[in-house]
Structure 1
């Protein structure tokens, strides 16, 4: 059976060029980057080369890049590293974030609230966008940090980060963005955006799982999450993941070339072909986040009178991997918190599927998926009492 992978927002394959870059650091070039002998210095050079590559992708200084284990750690370091909890002599800081964030932000915010940080959760509009005026009205005198994701992992909707960051700075607050789903799909310039902190994850951009980075604006002090050695300029203790960091650096170089060569246009064309083909061939399908700007690889579709879980399983049996939402919520029966926050009903949220293409997706694969979806949906709907009832109701 031919398999088609359309769940790139969950994870991407390690590109051959990335793997080739990594392999020597498991065997011949395995030195500790903190050692002063030649193997150690070779390892240090590889780490700094990767740091330069990530910095070039984000348009920042190399010294502003902190390597982490992934997006979750980067998000946690940004929040816990900047916010001060309330004490008997201190009111504590105020955090503003949104209801559509990844749980790496939402659960961290919940823990910070338990510790005494004031937290405000902003709701998006019906298209999934956090409007600047919504943020402006939530700002307080003690607002220390605003954290709004750049691109949503479920809908692909892009947020107006530059405008939101400017509002945060007007109130003397820092601004963090989770750019895990944006890196490699959108051109990112941290200075032009005006962000103070920005998170990326390697396995969303064709590097290995367990790698990531946090951009930290020069002059901004972070309290570390980990205590130990003075690695990463005392911002992240622990011996560097040398092969993973080398892989992330190579992936950043490839991503930069992809963006500069206009590769996103072809990816957008394939996504649009998939989306339009499904809308044309399957009745009662709608796009979640329609009308908003979205990253080029993502479409989130509502299939009336279906359960997303059943559709995901049925598609998998046909050789097509898609998702009912965030991979980090795998196994959850609750409807998507992102779609609920957009004002969609629990029923619609449970009947929505995410298709996320990768840079390796081909036209032939899109054609294969378009041949499968109408058949699978028709079969599942034929078993659905709700669908049968809908058909019996006169138009």
Structure 2
């Protein structure tokens, strides 16, 4: 289908087709831009890109998700931050970042198709960026490793698009492996693949998309990041990850501003929770991570204050129906929650959340099972 659509739009065949996944974050929220620890896993939902190189300096972009929208035509020499808006800013930013790093990208025809829900906190933007970067890296024989693609795509999103995101989403899209969660240190990008086969243990990880859309370029996300950076400066550390968990109380005592105290408390305790989850999983105590997920939600809700009524309802309802743990996932202000459940209770939890949303007058949530899947790869 991708080949057919590419041929219909551009009257030629693509040189190849690539895919990059969305992600769900098991634990480690708002820690990545604080040089902290995270643990995402790739979803089976992907963004695919059929691509052919051009040599005339023109970048042409089209998506099957908006089939009536004309092909966007962008001269690569004119790409600069703020010059492109809408969804095309993400792939345009990747081309800009690659060229800025000295890679001679001279244009391309690209057709996208995506099954990653947009605005659901599942990193649709990172999937779009990484699939573009990997395709162009392959076609131009740049041989860029996954972590380097992630860095370039983060620069595209931070500088070109203007969204102050951390490095987790791009690294997850580039580097995750099937059947594993990615334990990532965002300071040095060191990573370990942690086995995460829930089905074998009679468990499921449900994703509950509240259908409340969020946007990382909105001010509230940037406010949290700036608050963390100022708190780190006031505490005379490079980043909040440098505050040991055992010294949290002392650090909080040095801060007079209550907002800063809340931000610091969340980041330090969340890094500690990531380390605890890794220890449990490596010891085969998968069910023991449930309370840590729930504690993470309380911290995001009360200290970081990035939850919303729909996310809280999803979490509270799942827990009341027997979920082992539940929390919001992603940047917050909408998006999705996750719930770790026994296989036998998965349908009950899903139905209860759907009923609770209906009773509250919310849009029906989308509920599906997260299956740890592959990172970015070439398909054809």
TM normalised by structure 2 equals 0.28
Instruction: Write 1 or 2 for the structure with the bigger share of strand.
Output: 2
Q: Looking at CA atoms only, which structure, 1 or 2, has the larger radius of gyration?
A: 1
